[in-house]
Amino acid sequence: AQRVTQPEKLLSVFKGAPVELKCNYSYSGSPELFWYVQYSRQRLQLLLRHISRESIKGFTADLNKGETSFHLKKPFAQEEDSAMYYCALGSNDYKLSFGAGTTVTVRA
């Protein structure tokens, strides 16, 4: 069975400081990992996926199969980054499993 763990419920950083959201997963197959984000009063939306290896809004995430992690990082946090972030794992039965989420607050 697949499982996604986000150990931090809340994360508070100052504007301009680095931010890292932790995500660990367990899955016996070859995983596809994603980060979804929900800004205040908006819908849940895809932020980035490991397979594309792109940077979106300054965020990057590297899949580390040895540590079974997919941490999300941004070197300089902005106030507009305040949101709820969910790590998600795609398994080969088309199922997307989400973590419990991390609420990020960026303070001025």
Partner 1 sequence: ETGVTQSPTHLIKTRGQQVTLRCSSQSGHNTVSWYQQALGQGPQFIFQYYREEENGRGNFPPRFSGLQFPNYSSELNVNALELDDSALYLCASSPDRQSSYEQYFGPGTRLTVT
Catalog residues that contact partner 1 under the rule CB under 8 A: 4, 6, 32, 34, 43-46, 49, 86, 88, 90, 93-101
What is the enclosing helix (H) or strand (E) of 13?
strand 10-14
* Structure token digits, residue 67: 């540590």
CB of 1 to partner 1, least distance (A): 9
CB of 4 to partner 1, least distance (A): 8
CB of 79 to partner 1, least distance (A): 24
* Structure token digits, residue 60: 């990057």
- Nearer to partner 1 among residue 4 and residue 13 (C-beta): 4
- Nearer to partner 1 among residue 43 and residue 108 (C-beta): 43
- Nearer to partner 1 among residue 30 and residue 108 (C-beta): 30
Return d(Cα 87, Cα 6) in angstroms, integer. Answer: 7
Return d(Cα 83, Cα 39) in angstroms, integer. Answer: 5
